[in-house]
């Protein structure tokens, strides 16, 4: 009896592991296949900055990707969306805007969203500013959820772009995204049309 239950538990764990790995692979492949289509707006999702107000490497990668989209005229304007960090009180969006301005993007081509505390809030703000279409700019593991959020918030045409840089900690974030996306499907309201 005990051996039988042990085998069942092992089989269930194996099946669960296979499902989890397959879902993570789906999220990864979807993100890595992202390709930016021309749009009015590129949306650069915020992430950590230093205490001195400098973008950390992942954020700098996103900024460089958004800057390239703008330089190639695949987007006419850039929204920088992030939070005011609780630990160091740095405004991610303002820091991102300054970085872009220092790299040649005029202030009038930048929309600053300092209330983009999470992917969903950013998506709602993008839907208000660019309902016809936008390009999400984030790391590959975040593209699938970011695109879904924009579409669900009411943006018609959504595509994605990501930095072609890989860092080992991104595997942890892939697992986190694989959990976060189904949570979004269940919890995020459909905005009034």
Note the pLDDT tens digit of each residue in 67-104. Answer: 999 999 999 999 999 999 888 899 999 999 999 999 99
- Placement of tokens 């660019």 in the chain: 130
Note the pLDDT tens digit of each residue in 131-175. Answer: 999 999 999 999 999 999 999 999 999 999 999 998 888 988 898
Instruction: Report d(CA 102, CA 19) in Å as an integer.
Output: 45
Domain 2-187: which topology? Rossmann fold (3.40.50)
Instruction: Report d(CA 190, CA 193) in Å as an integer.
Output: 9
54, two tokens: 């400098």
What's the pTM? 0.88
Note the pLDDT tens digit of each residue in 121-131. Answer: 999 999 999 99
Q: CA–CA distance from 83 to each of 115, 157, 169 (Å)?
A: 6, 25, 22
For the purposes of burial, counting CB atoms within 10 Å of the CB of 89, is it exposed (0-12), middle (13-18) or buried (19 or more)?
Answer: exposed
Note the pLDDT tens digit of each residue in 3-35. Answer: 677 777 777 776 667 778 888 888 898 899 999
* Ranges of each domain in the chain: 2-187
């Amino acid at each position: 009896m005990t051996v039988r239950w042990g085998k069942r538990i092992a089989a269930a764990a194996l099946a669960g592991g296979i499902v989890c790995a397959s879902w993570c692979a789906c999220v990864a492949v979807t993100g890595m296949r992202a390709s930016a289509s021309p749009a009015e707006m590129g949306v650069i999702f915020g992430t950590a900055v230093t205490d001195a107000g400098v973008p950390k490497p992942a954020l700098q990668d996103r900024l460089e990707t958004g800057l390239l989209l703008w330089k190639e005229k695949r987007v006419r304007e850039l929204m920088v969306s992030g939070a005011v960090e609780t630990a160091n009180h740095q405004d991610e969006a303002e820091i991102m805007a300054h970085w872009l301005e220092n790299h040649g993007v005029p202030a009038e081509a930048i929309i600053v969203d300092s209330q983009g505390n999470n992917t969903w809030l950013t998506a709602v703000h993008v839907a208000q500013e660019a309902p016809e279409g936008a390009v999400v700019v984030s790391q590959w593991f975040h593209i699938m959820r970011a695109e879904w959020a924009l579409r669900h918030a009411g943006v018609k045409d959504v595509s994605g772009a990501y930095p072609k840089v890989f860092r080992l900690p991104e595997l942890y974030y892939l697992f986190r995204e694989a959990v976060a996306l189904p949570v979004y499907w269940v919890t995020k309201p459909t905005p009034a049309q």
